[in-house]
């Protein structure tokens, strides 16, 4: 004859299963990284003066997109160059097409007309192009490049501007 399960034993059993399931969910979420070609979302903050200033340097090419400078710091030709951005989660990313995206271009034109250098958040949908193993970034064109490794690279599909 089995004895009945006490309330305390049942509570411990439920708690143990809850901890196990939470651990599995956290573990599985950390191991899945989006692959090349995956659609991803980025939220970055910018000011109008960032448009001509953000630059990167790398010899790597991603889906035809590259930084505006090669690994030696020499200018490269091409439209929609990769540029560095810091996400709202403080993650460095290299994105192509942010300031060329139609909503961002409209915001930038209006901000320049009104002499408004306010910071905005851009919520962008992008396609992941890969990971730059070795790159260098600068936040002002007159500054030196700073080394960066293992940086996600994407191409913007659409952005929404949030004031």
What is the full per-residue pLDDT of the chain (163 aa) written as tens digits? Answer: 566 767 665 666 555 555 555 555 555 555 466 889 999 999 999 999 999 999 999 999 999 999 999 999 999 988 999 999 999 999 999 999 999 999 999 999 999 999 999 999 999 999 999 999 999 999 999 999 999 999 999 999 999 999 9
Q: Are 127 and 50 found together in one domain?
A: yes
Q: Are 17 and 52 found together in one domain?
A: no
The total domain count for the chain is 2
Q: Are 21 and 62 found together in one domain?
A: no
pLDDT recorded at residue 78? 86
Q: Are 22 and 82 found together in one domain?
A: no
pLDDT recorded at residue 77? 84
Q: Are 28 and 45 found together in one domain?
A: no
Count CB-CB contacts under 10 A for residue 33: 9
Token pair in block for residue 48: 């109008």
| Residues 93, 154 contacting (CB under 8 angstroms) | yes
pLDDT recorded at residue 82? 98
Strands 39-46 and 120-138: antiparallel
For the whole model, what pTM was predicted? Answer: 0.79
Domain span holding position 67: 39-162
Q: Are 13 and 65 found together in one domain?
A: no
Q: Are 107 and 50 found together in one domain?
A: yes
CA distance 88 to 77: 30
């Amino acid at each position: 004859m089995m004895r009945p399960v006490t309330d305390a034993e049942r509570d411990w059993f439920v708690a143990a299963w809850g901890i196990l399931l939470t651990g599995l969910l956290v573990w599985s979420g950390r191991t899945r990284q989006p692959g090349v070609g995956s659609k991803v979302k980025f939220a970055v903050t910018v000011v109008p003066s960032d448009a001509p200033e953000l630059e990167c340097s790398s010899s790597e090419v991603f889906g035809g997109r590259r930084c505006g400078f090669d690994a030696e710091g020499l200018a490269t030709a091409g439209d929609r160059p990769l540029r560095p951005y810091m996400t709202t989660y403080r993650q460095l990313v290299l994105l192509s097409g942010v300031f060329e995206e139609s909503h961002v271009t409209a915001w930038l034109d209006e901000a320049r007309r009104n002499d408004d250098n306010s910071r905005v958040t851009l919520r962008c949908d992008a396609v992941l192009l890969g990971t730059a193993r070795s790159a260098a970034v600068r936040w002002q064109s007159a500054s030196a490049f700073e080394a960066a490794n293992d940086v996600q690279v994407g191409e913007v599909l659409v952005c929404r501007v949030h004031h």
